[in-house]
Amino acid sequence: MIDTTRGPVTERTYAFLRDGILRGRYSVGSVLAETVLAEEMGISRTPVRYSLSQLLHDGLAEIGPRRQLIVRGFTPERRAEILLLREQLETLSVARACERMSADQIDVLRLNLLRQRRAAGEGREDDFIDLDEEFHLGIASGADLPLLEQFLRQLRGFVRLARLGAPRPPQVLVQVVAEHEEIVEAIESRDPETARAALVSHLERSDYVIAPPAATEAASR
């Protein structure tokens, strides 16, 4: 059940359902039934209907074989497309951030890195994933291209959904923090070439975030 006293019901319903998909509470391939969800959350069907429509528009849900709305699965081809788009957009973002990001915004990234290290050291994977997303979107914000930031925010949802079920051992999280540190240092040095190279290297080593093909293929059938 969601708290309907803290902001517009429709916005909170959408946020609740989106978060549930990205955290795996609603598994890939599971049916998103309007009536059932409304009963579970203790609200009317109207905000649920709107939220499901928005999830469909965002690409986090799709129409299943029986014309039911289901949580989206990813084929190998779609995962490859996500990785390609992510690299293209984020390299543009980080290069632009080298030119436009303020000292205060860089300080925010460094604070994020401290929180990442703590989460990695304590094995808090869910918190680490939240911080990882915050880090990359922070760079996009510093690039001062609002439309690019919007595209990346939607793309990060795909990345997060596709990473469900992938192993994330602690040593990998520690390595990710080190790679993020290299990116921040390049931004702070106002060195777009080094920043792009560090980001590409990071993304190429981050294939661990994408769930194994067998899991997502089976779910999308």
Q: pTM for this one?
A: 0.80
Whether residue 214 has pLDDT greater than 70: no
Clarify whether residues 196 and 89 are in a common domain. yes
The pLDDT assigned to 65 comes to 86
Residue 195 lies in a domain: yes
**Beta-carbon count within 10 A of 83 CB:** 19
The pLDDT assigned to 213 comes to 44
Whether residue 31 has pLDDT greater than 90: yes
Of the residues 36, 52, 72, the one at which a domain ends? 72
Across-strand partners of 71? 61
Clarify whether residues 107 and 165 are in a common domain. yes
Residue 3 lies in a domain: no
Of the residues 41, 72, 103, the one at which a domain ends? 72
Q: How many domains does the chain have?
A: 2
Clarify whether residues 157 and 97 are in a common domain. yes
Residue 169 lies in a domain: yes
**Beta-carbon count within 10 A of 209 CB:** 19
Clarify whether residues 14 and 66 are in a common domain. yes
Clarify whether residues 85 and 173 are in a common domain. yes
The pLDDT assigned to 1 comes to 57
51: domain CATH number is 1.10.10.10
Clarify whether residues 40 and 88 are in a common domain. no
Clarify whether residues 211 and 117 are in a common domain. yes
CA dist 142 and 149 (Å) reads: 9
Clarify whether residues 98 and 194 are in a common domain. yes
Query: Which pLDDT band holds residue 212 (cuts at 50, 70, 90)?
Result: very low
Clarify whether residues 195 and 87 are in a common domain. yes
Positive or negative torsion for Cα 86, 87, 90, 96? negative
Q: What's the start-to-end Cα distance of the chain, in Å?
A: 30
Residue 221 lies in a domain: no
Residue 165 lies in a domain: yes
Cβ-count burial of 48 within 10 angstroms (0-12 exposed, 13-18 middle, 19+ buried)? Answer: buried
The pLDDT assigned to 203 comes to 92
Residue 172 lies in a domain: yes
More confident residue, 114 or 79: 114
Q: Is 136 helix (H, G, I), strand (E, B) or coil?
A: helix
Query: Which pLDDT band holds residue 168 (cuts at 50, 70, 90)?
Result: confident
Mean pLDDT score of the chain, rounded to an integer? 88
The pLDDT assigned to 73 comes to 86
* Domain carrying residue 158: 76-216
Clarify whether residues 65 and 96 are in a common domain. no
Of the residues 50, 72, 94, the one at which a domain ends? 72
Q: Which of 81-85, 145-149, 171-175, 216-220 has the lowest mean pLDDT?
A: 216-220
pLDDT tens-place string over residues 3-21: 555 568 999 999 999 999 9
| Mean pLDDT to the nearest integer, 52-78 | 91
Clarify whether residues 85 and 57 are in a common domain. no
The pLDDT assigned to 52 comes to 96
Query: Which pLDDT band holds residue 206 (cuts at 50, 70, 90)?
Result: confident
The pLDDT assigned to 2 comes to 60
Clarify whether residues 84 and 180 are in a common domain. yes
The pLDDT assigned to 166 comes to 72
pLDDT tens-place string over residues 83-126: 899 999 999 999 999 999 999 999 999 999 999 999 999 989 88
169: domain CATH number is 1.20.120.530
Positive or negative torsion for Cα 87, 128, 131, 2? positive
